[in-house]
Amino acid sequence: MALYVEARIHADLDTLWERTQDPAEHQRWDLRFTEIAYLPSAPGEPRRFGYAVRLLPFLTVAGTGVSAGERHRAGGDRVSALRFASPDPLSLLAEGSGYWRYVPGQDGVRFLTAYDYRPRWGRLGRVADRVLFRPLMGWATAWSFDRLRLWCENGVTPERARTRWLLELSARLLLAGVPFTATLLPLGAVSLAAVPLTVLGLLAALCLPPAPGTPAARRCLRTAPGRSRTPRLLATLEQP
C-alpha cells in the first residue's frame, strides 16, 4: 500500500518549492534523510542525487535517486517525481518511487506526496515493513511535513522545531512517568493513590494537543481524499 501524506501550507508557492527542491533546505526539515546532495548530471537530463540516513551514530545507509520537476503547468500546480534505490544490504528499502504535488488555492497550498517502495530481506523484510517500518515512515513523513509548514508559515526553523518537539516529548513522558513510578513504591497509601494519577497522566500525555509551534504528524492528512493520480512525469524517469 502506497504511503500518502498531505499538508495545507499557508505560504508562497515559490518559497515552498525552494525549500523542498533545494537539497540543502530539504535535508533540514525532512526527518527521513540525514544528507541529500545533487550528483553530476548531463544538461537536459533528470537530476541525480545521493542520500544518506544515519540509523545510529556509527551506522549510515546510503542510496541514489533521480528526480524531475514541472514548475510551469497549465493548471497552476507544480509536480516533482523521483525514483530511488539503495544497494546497501542494511537498507530495508531496496527501491521505490513517488511524487510531490503542489496545488495552490485561496487557503494556501495543498502539498501532498504519495510514494511506495520494495523492501528487501525476503519474507522477514516484508513482515518488518508492514508491522514497523512502513507505519514509521508514514509518521516521519507527516511529522516532517508539519515541520516544513511551521517553517514556511511562522518562521520556526527546522532546528528550533525539533528542539521544541524534544522538550514537549520529555514533558509528556515525565507527566506519565512520575505517577507510574510512585505505584512501584512499597504498598501503601502513596502507591495506591498514584494509580488513578498514573491513568490521568497517561491520558494527558497521549491526548493533550501539541503546542502550536511544535510539529505533529496528527495535523496532516494520512489518507488520500480520492483516487490519487500519478503524474505522467514519473513514467519518464528510469530507475537509478
Structural domain boundaries of the chain? 3-156+220-236, 162-207
| Topology annotation, domain 3-156+220-236 | Alpha-D-Glucose-1,6-Bisphosphate; Chain A, domain 4 (3.30.530)
Between CA 29 and CA 215 the distance in angstroms is: 11
Dihedral sign for Cα 185, 188, 189, 191, please.
Answer: positive
- How many Cα atoms within 13 Å fall on the side-chain side of residue 92? 15
Confidence (pTM): 0.87
To the nearest 10 degrees (0 to 180), the angle between helices 134-154 and 158-183 is: 130
Whether 7 shows a pLDDT value over 90: the answer reads: yes
Calculate the alpha carbon distances from 42 to 111, 175, 239 in Å: 29, 55, 16
Between CA 13 and CA 27 the distance in angstroms is: 19
Whether 16 shows a pLDDT value over 60: the answer reads: yes
Whether 196 shows a pLDDT value over 70: the answer reads: no
Partnered with residue 117 across adjacent β-strands are 96
Whether 71 shows a pLDDT value over 60: the answer reads: yes
| Band of pLDDT at residue 59, cut at 50, 70 and 90 | confident
Q: Helix count (H) and strand count (E) of the chain?
A: 6, 7
The reported pLDDT for the residue numbered 204 is: 55
Whether 199 shows a pLDDT value over 60: the answer reads: no
